[in-house]
């Protein structure tokens, strides 16, 4: 198979021909039809993720067709259209048994713990517990765009922050995660406020359902600007970027008993940010992480997509080839693109 491959961090990946994967017991092999490019792939390539063992094939947001089925797989067969959450649970640990596969102790993450989907084929373990059947109406590129950012945002807004109609929701950072969170919060009837430093991204955020925008470069204090707009602070707030500044502001801008969800990754020297803990105590704030979403929760998200309430296809920017993904991956931290780049040519 053709795949993007690197033997050292921070060196230009190459496109190589590698042996086709075979399914493990309980696993499948998927012919990748579409796979999204994400900032986590950039973090991995930089060497920020301890799960990655070299040499490596990145890629974790994928959709495709099952082409081989390992021993013991019951729910899936060759030819079926599927996608998979980027964190796949083992199915038998305590977390999996309680329905929290997204924090499984023995998790399988394509593109991190194992070779990923920037390739013609990818092997996925624990298939019965994690693969998701794709409705015919959801195309591969859209499905691939769900796997990480959209699903994580869905869990962040719906399950972790428990956003309800009429609430103010601040969203810090308008990349793939932030725009997804805005679209999902708007679909729930909440009032999302988009915060970014790019006027262009804020314009796009309005089209995705933001009722107000704040350009962080143009205000002295972002948290104060949110409190002014919302009459006291946001009910829920998402740091969709992952930086000490956005994390701090996302907690600081909450009203009393507000909920903060950290979705943007905090790695390397950002791993231990400053938190306004006095406010967390005095105002009884809630702080959550959001780390992917369980396969069984995809039903709710797919139902909202099929009904037209959620339109993740609007977040897709460019369709690119495997070759074009190499420079795109290396420049991911600068992420000037509006929308998600998806590899659809292999
Ligand atoms: Zn598990
Ligand atoms: Zn991702």
Ligand 2 centroid to Cα of residue 292, in Å, is 9
Q: Residue 271: its pLDDT value, please?
A: 86
Which regions in the chain score pLDDT beneath 70? 335-337
Ligand 2 centroid to Cα of residue 60, in Å, is 6
* Separation of alpha carbons 287 and 239, rounded Å: 11
Pairing of strands 2-5, 14-17: antiparallel
Ligand 1 centroid to Cα of residue 172, in Å, is 31
Q: Residue 8: its pLDDT value, please?
A: 97
Ligand 2 centroid to Cα of residue 227, in Å, is 31
Residue 55: asked if its preceding bond is cis (omega within 30°), the reply is yes
Q: Residue 332: its pLDDT value, please?
A: 86
Residues 6 or more apart whose CB falls under 8 angstroms from that of 179 comprise 204, 205, 208, 315, 339
Over residues 41-87, the pLDDT tens digits come to: 999 999 999 999 999 999 999 999 999 999 999 999 999 999 999 99
* Separation of alpha carbons 260 and 245, rounded Å: 14
Ligand 2 centroid to Cα of residue 311, in Å, is 18
315 alpha carbon, distance to own chain's centre: 12
């Amino acid at each position: 198979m053709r795949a993007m491959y690197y033997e050292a961090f921070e060196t230009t990946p190459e496109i190589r021909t590698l042996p086709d994967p075979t399914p493990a017991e309980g696993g499948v092999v998927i012919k990748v039809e579409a796979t999204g490019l994400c900032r986590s792939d950039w973090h991995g390539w930089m060497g920020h993720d301890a799960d990655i063992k070299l040499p490596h094939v990145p890629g974790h947001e994928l959709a495709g067709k099952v082409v081989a089925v390992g021993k013991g797989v019951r729910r899936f067969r060759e030819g079926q259209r599927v996608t998979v959450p980027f964190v796949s649970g083992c199915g038998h640990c305590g977390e999996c048994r309680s329905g929290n596969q997204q924090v499984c102790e023995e998790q399988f993450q394509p593109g991190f713990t194992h070779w990923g989907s920037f390739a013609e084929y990818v092997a996925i373990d624990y298939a019965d517990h994690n693969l998701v059947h794709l409705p015919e109406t959801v195309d591969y590129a859209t499905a691939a765009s769900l796997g990480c950012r959209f699903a994580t945002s869905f869990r962040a807004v719906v399950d972790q922050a428990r956003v309800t109609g009429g609430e103010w929701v601040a969203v810090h950072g308008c990349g793939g995660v932030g725009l997804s969170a805005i679209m999902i919060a708007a679909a729930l009837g909440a009032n999302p406020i988009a915060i970014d430093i790019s006027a262009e991204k804020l314009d796009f955020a309005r089209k995705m359902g933001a009722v107000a925008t704040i350009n962080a470069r143009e205000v002295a204090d972002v948290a104060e600007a949110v409190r002014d707009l919302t009459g006291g602070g946001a009910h829920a707030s998402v740091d969709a970027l992952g930086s000490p500044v956005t994390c701090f502001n996302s907690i600081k801008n909450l009203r009393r008993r507000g909920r903060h969800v950290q979705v943007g990754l905090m790695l390397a020297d950002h791993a231990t940010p400053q938190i306004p803990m006095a406010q967390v105590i005095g105002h009884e704030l809630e702080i959550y992480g959001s780390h992917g979403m369980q396969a069984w929760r995809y039903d709710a998200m797919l139902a909202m997509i099929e009904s037209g309430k959620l339109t993740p296809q609007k977040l897709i920017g460019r369709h690119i080839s495997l070759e074009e993904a190499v420079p795109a991956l290396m420049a991911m931290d600068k992420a000037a693109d509006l929308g998600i780049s998806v590899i659809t040519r292999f």
